[in-house]
Amino acid sequence: MQVTSVGHAGFHIQTEAGSILCDPWVNPAYFGSWFPFPDNTGLDWDALGNCDYLYVSHLHKDHFDPQTLTKHVNKDATVLLPDYPVPDLRRELEALGFHKFFETEDSVKHKVSGPKGDLDVMIIALRAPADGPIGDSGLVVADGESTCFNMNDARPVDMDVLHDQFGKIDIHLLQYSGAIWYPMVYDIPKKTKANFGKQKRQRGMDRCRSYIEQVDATWVVPSAGPPVFLDDELRYLNDDHGDEGNIFPDQIVFLEQMRIHGNGGGVLMIPGSTAEVHGSDLSLTHPIPDADVDKIFTDKAAYIEDMAQRLAPVLEAEKASWAPAEGEPLFDGLKAKFEPIMAQSDLICDGIGYPVGLVMGDETVVLDFPQRIVRKPGEKDGKYRYGFRIAPELVRTVLRDDEPDWVNSIFLSTRFEAWRVGGYNEFLYTFFKCLTDERIAYADGWFSEAHDDNSSIELGGYEIQRRCPHLKADLTKFGVVEGTNLTCNLHGWQWDLETGRCKTSKGHELRSKKL
């Protein structure tokens, strides 16, 4: 098996039975904020796109790149399709011209047969509203000699199925770096923001090390991040100036974390690096001399500056595609967009529980979730418990494009500011992710569904429910107790073990008692 990095979460997996192109991403994403790091524009994308199979893990724009898929990828390739409840991914790929689909069943090993032979594949499909844009997934590929687990940025809750179906994993590809806007965009004191960022940075790496231990692969490739921010307004987000509160650490940082914790199986790959994998044996070849690979990371600021200059026309073209900032008031468009979704989502609206302010230049609009209406500000509103300041051109663009997912557009761009009074509200971001009838119906039903939490475990001197109240992760594997505080390292959510209260978000109480 030959595994070639094509940048970010993207890989080309070559076997004697055929080739699989995974998550090819080249063009800037999220309003031109994210670019692949290191630069992958110089790869031979026509050759990479002449593949037998295509795997797109989910619809986040750093995994689903319509321009690259349209221009470079063979439309006769068989798409390995995750088992998602909402068929948006298939529809988007069909719209680009793909017409051969192998529909997998969640966490079931399948044999795919082609003219070149057979491959064993399994896709672990995550289907909670918090997973990607209604879905995220990881791919397992075995060619009879080697097994690769491409986890990209999925967060599976059960690794037992992996070993039950495939046994020993030889190479594990996984996300380790931040892919979110918190805490950078929040209107909080600088020191507080730095402390939150430091905590998030470490929790993210702790979570990944937990996955590495569970998968127990011979070799581990940190991937699916970080992006690079080339816009002058966003350059401060790059981890190139010794900021311990930066949530976008690069590959070198994580490989050092692995070494500190006794794992020497980390492999550094850049776009074009190729790993020849024969069972537990691996040989690595970079597309440039090793000294030049090192320089990317040791002189990172200079590398980013060079990228910014070369790709400035690409960024300018992206900005030119946005809707103009000036125009008719945004109120009517937002009312038409949001009120039908509010009307279908009682549980989510009640879970949000308060009005939310959208400040867009000189115009403010209120999303009044308790009343299920979009309205103009009232004299008695006071300060909104949750609010967003967003440039009007971004809002006009997502309305123009009928964007179904503001999380996968505006929010991941980090081109906004936010404030909140109280904890994180998962229901609010789920709402912004589900701006179609089909998505909101699924999400509301998912939250309404009763989950079995009768199984208990002992952890840190407490008897607690085994499954995390957030996304049902197994707390025997992801739970960490410090005093009376429980942290689930899958997403960093926390509970007070004395009361069962969730410290991270409204609701989600934990069943707990001291032994």
Question: pLDDT tens digit string along 256-267?
Answer: 999 999 999 999
**What was the pLDDT predicted at 453?**
64
**pLDDT value, residue 211:** 95
pLDDT for 479: 92
Specify the pLDDT at position 411: 97
- CATH no., domain 456-514: 2.102.10.10
Q: Which residues pair with 374 in a beta bridge?
A: 367
Q: In the 3-class helix/strand/coil scheme, how is 7-29 assigned residue by residue?
A: ECCEEEEEECCEEEEECCCCCCE
Query: Which residues, including other chains, have CB under 8 Å from residue 98's CB and lie 6 or more apart?
Result: 54, 69, 75, 77, 79
Tell me the mean pLDDT per 10 residues along the chain, length 515.
98 97 98 98 98 97 97 98 93 98 96 90 90 87 97 90 95 93 94 94 92 96 96 96 93 95 96 97 98 97 98 98 96 97 92 95 96 92 91 98 95 96 90 93 76 80 90 83 91 92 87 93
Which stretches within 418-498 are classed as H helix?
A: 426-433, 437-448, 475-478
Q: What is the token pair recorded at 333?
A: 């468009």
Instruction: Quickly tell me which residue has 């589900």 as its tokens.
Output: 434
Reading the block at residue 255, the tokens are: 């490989």
Tokens of 143: 């060619």
Contact between 269 and 275 (Cβ < 8 Å) = yes
Please indicate whether the domains covering 2-314 and 456-514 agree at the CATH topology level.
no
Nearest Cα residue to 346 out of 426, 443, 451: 443
- What single letter denotes the amino acid at residue 27? N
Which residues lie closer than 8 Å to 506 by C-beta, 6 or more apart? 351, 353, 422, 423, 425, 427
Question: Distance (Å, rounded) from C-alpha 458 to C-alpha 462?
Answer: 6
Residues 6+ apart with CB under 8 A from 274: 2, 3, 4, 5, 284, 285
Selected from 1.10.600.10, 3.40.50.300, 3.30.2290.10, 3.60.15.10, the CATH number assigned to the domain covering 2-314 reads 3.60.15.10
pLDDT of res. 415? 98
Closest CA to 49 of 9, 99, 6, 92: 6
Q: 250, 300 in Cβ contact below 8 A?
A: yes
- Label residue 277 exposed, middle or buried (CB < 10 Å: 0-12, 13-18, 19+): buried
pLDDT for the residue 450: 47
Q: Angle formed by the axes of helices 437-448 and 331-343, to 10°?
A: 40
- Cβ distance 110 to 102 under 8 Å? yes
What is the structure's pLDDT at 422? 84
Structure tokens given for 78: 């068989």
Q: Which CATH class is domain 331-448?
A: alpha beta
How would you classify the pairing of strands 493-496 and 485-488? antiparallel
Residue 510 near residue 469, CB atoms below 8 Å: yes
Give dist(CA 258, CA 277) in Å, integer: 21
Sign (positive or negative) of CA dihedral 74, 54, 101, 279 = positive
Task: Read off the tokens for 260.
Answer: 């500190």
Q: What ranges do the domains of the chain cover? A: 2-314, 331-448, 456-514
pLDDT tens profile 125-151:
998 887 777 789 999 999 999 999 999
